[in-house]
Amino acid sequence: MLLEELFFQIGFIVAVAGLLSLAASFLRQPLIMAYIIAGVIVGPSVLAVTHNTDVFQVMAELGVAFLLFTVGLGLNWRGVKDVGGISLATGVGQVLFTSVAGFAVGLLLGLDTLTSMYLAITFAFSSTIIVVKLLMDKEDLSTLYGRISIGFLLVQDFIAMFLLLVVGAFSSGATLEHIFVNSLLKGIVIIPVLWLVSTKIVPPLLSYVAKSQELLMVFALSWCFLVAGVLSFFGFGVEIGALLAGMSLSGSVYHREINARVRPLRDFFLIIFFVILGARLDLGSLGANWLPIFAFSVFVLISNPLVVLLLMRAFGYHPRTGFLTGTSIAQISEFSFIILAAGIAAGHISDQAMAIATPVALITIAISSYFIKHNEQVYIWIRPLLRWMEPDHMLEEEKLKERKASHVLLFGYHRMGAVLLPSIKKLRKSYTIVDFDPQAIRELTEVGEPVVYGDAGDEGFLQELQVQKSQLIISTIPDASVSLSLLAYVHRHHYTGTVIVSAHRPEEAERCYRAGATFVIVPSVLGGERFTQLLASQKTKRREWETWVESCGKRTGAHQRHRKTLQKREKTV
């Protein structure tokens, strides 16, 4: 009877989540909101369907583990190293500031010292699960702000893990010095052993199991559970273990196949995770705690983005990057509940802290979901308020005036830009690289490349750069708002050269075509290597682009849409 009841509960939960997801998709709302609302409906406050809480909690943990495992599969050590410094600085700085300011807010609301301290610390952490899921859906994980956000969240997760060790050790009477030394010794032993096994033993095993796709999937799942279980046993948590398990396989040639196999499991269990998150809401406690819920929600939604924005600007990053990164972490973490539960179990705080934290989590997750989905448009709206933070290009204006306009302008160096640069050099034309990643600027400056720090969406900067005088403009920034701003600028200046921009999706590409783009790079459709071959042939006329796109259109629907768009434009010219 228990199995039948559990089957009914899971089926009912999935059915409710499915119906609400259809409604959310029709209304063009984030699917996460549908899952959370489904959790509220099936939770104890409404229908009370989720009786087997332990089972659902395990399923939710599996969703978290699979998500971080697939994230690890897509990470590379170079990408982490490139943003490691800024991620560490902003991660630690934001946690410190939010903890101190949140503690003051708690005291002003009349909460006791320990409750204020616990809430302030837990509200300083952002949700890795929410951010990764939304950035993945938006295809922004590989962008500059996406990579910084992931690094930022990893720093927060390590801090949260350490705090959990502190709370647990204090409950058992251990000292802070003992906790730190013990954790450090564990890390010194475990990390090298994991690296040795993943580089010496795992590759030959992968080569053997890859003969069967089913065996490859079983091996990958076994490796994920093994590493996550070992690190959890030593106090580092399932989340960190699953992430490191994925990263240890990310260098293999099979990581894409493993990712494709694990993704359906990840998506199913993640639905349960978000449903359980919504089911935690106790509607009966909202009235008694409405003031601290409202105050802390506003505090998290405003303070986290603002602190990150200011910290990143202090380290030389453009306000746009800081704003996009800041808005992506404007919610509280799943670790918040774990830390609060540990504090309640230790007798430090009462259940009131959890009654406050749960609605704050749901409110901030809901609003930040819209922030992340529409962050580029929101930045355009509030950009006039952030003008004072933008870099002063007047300092370089004389240099820009003295230099003749480059024949080729390359906006965005990361990944595809780096792939294209050797072919641009073969054109034997003057070129300039434009980027707003300080790390990329430093690297290119050190090797003597002509590089300028600036924002492709800043009209004043484009004017100083004399963009309209170049012959070929290439933007590898897959942000439709940036591409459309660039196209609008060159259109106003009656530009007659070739403009190649980027977009995430074919629908955005069509908007760029209507705005005057000669060609639009859709990363999921057009590989950087193939585009390099086109550029090397020095054929950038409309007919050559159309001919090549037509041949690709026979293989992919997205290219077919590109071809039709080009044909329409050809008829109107």
- Stretch 14-31: mean pLDDT, rounded? 88
Q: 525 vs 570, which has greater pLDDT?
A: 525
DSSP letters for 475-496: E----HHHHHHHHHHHHHTT--
Q: Where are the alpha helices (DSSP H) in 27-83?
A: 31-42, 53-74, 77-82
Q: What mean pLDDT value characterizes the chain?
A: 79
The span from the CA of 440 to the CA of 371, in Å, is 27
Q: 432 vs 79, which has greater pLDDT?
A: 432
Q: What is the pLDDT of residue 102?
A: 92
In this structure, what token pair is assigned to residue 194? 């994991």
Candidates 136, 129, 67, 79; CA nearest to 504 is 136
Q: What is the pLDDT of residue 415?
A: 67
Q: 181 vs 219, which has greater pLDDT?
A: 219
Q: What is the pLDDT of residue 232?
A: 80
The span from the CA of 572 to the CA of 570, in Å, is 6
Provide the pLDDT confidence category of residue 550 given band limits of 50, 70 and 90. Answer: very low
Q: How far is CA 33 from CA 20, 37, 440, in A?
A: 9, 6, 36
- Stretch 249-261: mean pLDDT, rounded? 81
Tell me, rounded to whole angstroms, the distance of Cα 306 from its chain centroid. Answer: 18
Q: What is the pLDDT of residue 81?
A: 60
- Of all residues in the chain, the percent with pLDDT exceeding 70 is 83
Candidates 164, 130, 53, 71; CA nearest to 361 is 130
User: Would you give the DSSP letter of residue 331?
Assistant: S
Q: What is the pLDDT of residue 131?
A: 87
The span from the CA of 515 to the CA of 226, in Å, is 52
Q: 556 vs 300, which has greater pLDDT?
A: 300
Sketch out the chain's domains with CATH numbers: 54-387 (1.20.1530.20), 394-572 (3.40.50.720)
pLDDT in tens, 190-225: 778 888 888 888 888 888 888 888 888 899 999 999
Q: Which amino acid is at 383?
A: R
Residue 3 has pLDDT above 80, yes or no: no
Provide the pLDDT confidence category of residue 142 given band limits of 50, 70 and 90. Answer: confident
Strand partners, 553: none
Q: What is the pLDDT of residue 179?
A: 65
Residue 391 has pLDDT above 70, yes or no: no
Residues 6+ apart with CB under 8 A from 32: 130, 133, 134, 274, 365, 369
Q: Is the dihedral of CA 345, 348, 349, 354 positive or negative?
A: negative
Q: Are 258 and 217 in contact (CB under 8 A)?
A: yes
- Of all residues in the chain, the percent with pLDDT exceeding 90 is 10
DSSP letters for 293-307: HHHHHHHHHHHHHHH
Residues 6+ apart with CB under 8 A from 78: none
Q: 350 vs 239, which has greater pLDDT?
A: 350
Q: What is the pLDDT of residue 551?
A: 43
The span from the CA of 166 to the CA of 36, in Å, is 31
- Stretch 252-258: mean pLDDT, rounded? 81
The span from the CA of 88 to the CA of 141, in Å, is 18
Q: Which amino acid is at 491?
A: H
DSSP letters for 393-424: GGGGHHHHHHSPPPSEEEE--TTHHHHHHHHH
Write phi, then psi, for 502 (nearest 5 degrees). Answer: -125, 155
CB-facing half-sphere around the CA of 313: CA atoms within 13 A: 19
- Stretch 372-376: mean pLDDT, rounded? 86
Strand partners, 451: 433
Write down the residue that tokens 């390359």 correspond to. 410
- The winner for highest mean pLDDT among 72-86, 157-171, 530-544 is 157-171
DSSP letters for 157-217: HHHHHHHHHHHHHHHHT--HHHHHHHHHHHHHHHHHHHHHIIIIIHHHHHHHHTTSHHHHH
DSSP letters for 306-323: HHHHHHHHHTT--HHHHH
Q: 110 vs 255, which has greater pLDDT?
A: 110
Q: At what angle do helices 176-196 and 144-172 cross, to 10 degrees?
A: 130
Q: What is the pLDDT of residue 297?
A: 93
Q: What is the pLDDT of residue 145?
A: 85
User: Would you give the DSSP letter of residue 518?
Assistant: S
Q: What is the pLDDT of residue 552?
A: 42
